[in-house]
Homo-oligomer: A and B are copies of this chain.
Amino acid sequence: MTITILGNNSALPAYERHPTAQVVSLQGGQDILLDCGEGTQTQMQRYDVRWGRINYIFISHLHGDHYFGIFGLLTTMSLLGRTTPLHLHAPAPLEGLINNMLSVASSVLCYPLIFHALPEGAALLVDEKLFSVTCFPVEHRIQCHGFVVTQKTRGRRLLPEKASSYQIPTYFYDRLKSGEDYETKTGELIKNEWVTEPGPPEKKYAYCADTIYTESFLEHITGADVIYHESTYLNDNIEKARERFHSTAGQAATLAVKAGTKQLLLGHYSSRYKELDGFKSEAAAIFANVEVTKEGDVFEI
């Protein structure tokens, strides 16, 4: 499971930093796009994100720096001849904006776009065999959600030589992976742990979007392996952060400690900061394993 940062600036463009967009790459060749600021499709090309692997897009809220790139991306996927359905989970009004955009161009998408309006509260949005995505409300100037992407365990890992030595038939292997014991025709019990070992553990990534500092969603991100939390400001602008429903690097680190995560990713930097070193030092004083993300960074979970 990897996270690729395509953009991490806040609304006002600066220093060639792009607005928010991230790609979560999962086992099984599935990519998930989280937010889609202006220029996301160009950033995808720059950082070799494959269009065809993206079947799910999640938009946290309808401030432009988190969604103005969706129109171009949807159009481009159509120009490229996509036919696979695309699931877009976003605040309800985005559906109308997209339909209007297509209508004024006398255009239709050549693939099914399946729009899912985000609910007000927390919810399970996607539950596939290999991964799931949930949303939870954060606190911003307008309705805004964070997302938790969970890469599921694939069950136990089969030890083929062991299974074969007990003469377990291959048709039973999938049931071994899901944890079952095997009973031979003569009634002998072959314990599951003799022929399998633990599979790769479940992995969790929590993306907290744009939010004021609050512990109101702590329950949803607790236990995540990696948390992305916005840090628009440093603590010297903590009042401005509060007024604008944003957070500081220090606040993000404080929440990371409370959530018991292994790693914190920072982003959504205000254009007032050209150099980002201050974000690292402010956060690291509270939570050591912090990364000040840059465009093109790839983090493995």
- A residues near B (Cβ < 8 Å) are 11-14, 16, 18, 38-39, 41-42, 45-46, 62-65, 68-69, 71-72, 75-76, 79-80, 91, 93-94, 96-97, 100-101, 103-106, 141-142
Partner of A105, one of B41, B46, B142: B142
If A91-B104, A104-B93 touch, whether A79 touches B45 (CB-CB below 8 Å) is: no
A12: B residues at CB distance < 8 A:
76, 79-80
B38 touches A41 (CB 8 A): yes
If A12-B76, A71-B68 touch, whether A105 touches B45 (CB-CB below 8 Å) is: no
CA distance A252 to B9 in the complex (A): 40
A97 touches B93 (CB 8 A): no
A101 touches B97 (CB 8 A): yes
Partner of A42, one of B13, B80, B103, B142: B13
CA distance A103 to B94 in the complex (A): 11
CA distance A18 to B18 in the complex (A): 14
- Chain B nearest CB from A99 CB (Å) reads 11
Partner of A104, one of B38, B65, B97: B97
A142 touches B11 (CB 8 A): no
A41: B residues at CB distance < 8 A:
13, 38
- Chain B nearest CB from A10 CB (Å) reads 10
If A64-B75, A97-B104 touch, whether A42 touches B16 (CB-CB below 8 Å) is: yes
B96 touches A100 (CB 8 A): yes
- Chain B nearest CB from A54 CB (Å) reads 15
A91: B residues at CB distance < 8 A:
104
